[in-house]
A and B are shown apart, each in its own frame.
Chain A
Amino acid sequence: DTGVSQDPRHKITKRGQNVTFRCDPISEHNRLYWYRQTLGQGPEFLTYFQNEAQLEKSRLLSDRFSAERPKGSFSTLEIQRTEQGDSAMYLCASSLALALPGEQFFGPGTRLTVL
């Protein structure tokens, strides 16, 4: 158990609805990342935060996606006007800024199904 938790674990929604996912990182970790993984593919980077600052966003992240980390602890990822192509596993990871490069701890993910 890595200590990163995500909620909900599963979400089924209809096309056009908005959804919001939550990630609680390991408590002392100041970096938090969001990735998306589809079947047969590796995780794909979406965005990351150091404390409350969003430092990088993927070019692939459309305007319908927004992420926040208001107090530098938990983070939320919102998808507006969901599309069937948004169906995927959304993974959150956390790390310490001074940790070994690449040592990110992943949560169990939120599986989104858009009907």
Chain B
Amino acid sequence: RKEVEQDPGPFNVPEGATVAFNCTYSNSASQSFFWYRQDCRKEPKLLMSVYSSGNEDGRFTAQLNRASQYISLLIRDSKLSDSATYLCVVSENTDKLIFGTGTRLQVFP
């Protein structure tokens, strides 16, 4: 079983739609949680950290459920520029990041 599991997609949504991605992680000792974004043929970039209380950054909302070992990302009012792969990432006590396979999002006009 992979340490971080995501649905690879692709999710094809029209502009303006709301889309949600989910992720599960296997190690209950995981301490920190993140979403990274990776554009095609580019390097990953930190999108947002995920906190137990949930957090929002503009159109993006991240949630963490430690009991279920589940992380989510909600994107509201999708833009064409949101098309990318969204990587769910966890970290234990070290600085090592453990990435999921990523979920590909394609927003169409």
Contact = CB atoms under 8 A, between A and B. Distances in A.
Chain A's interface size range is: 20 to 34
B10 to A, nearest CB: 12
A91 interface: yes
Contact of A108 (B42, B100, B102): B42
B98 interface: yes
B105 interface: no
A85 interface: no
A43 B49 contact: no
Contacts of A102: 32-34, 46, 49, 89, 91, 97
Interface in A59-115: 91, 95, 100-104, 106-109
Interface of A: 2, 31, 33, 35, 40-45, 48, 55-56, 91, 95, 100-104, 106-109
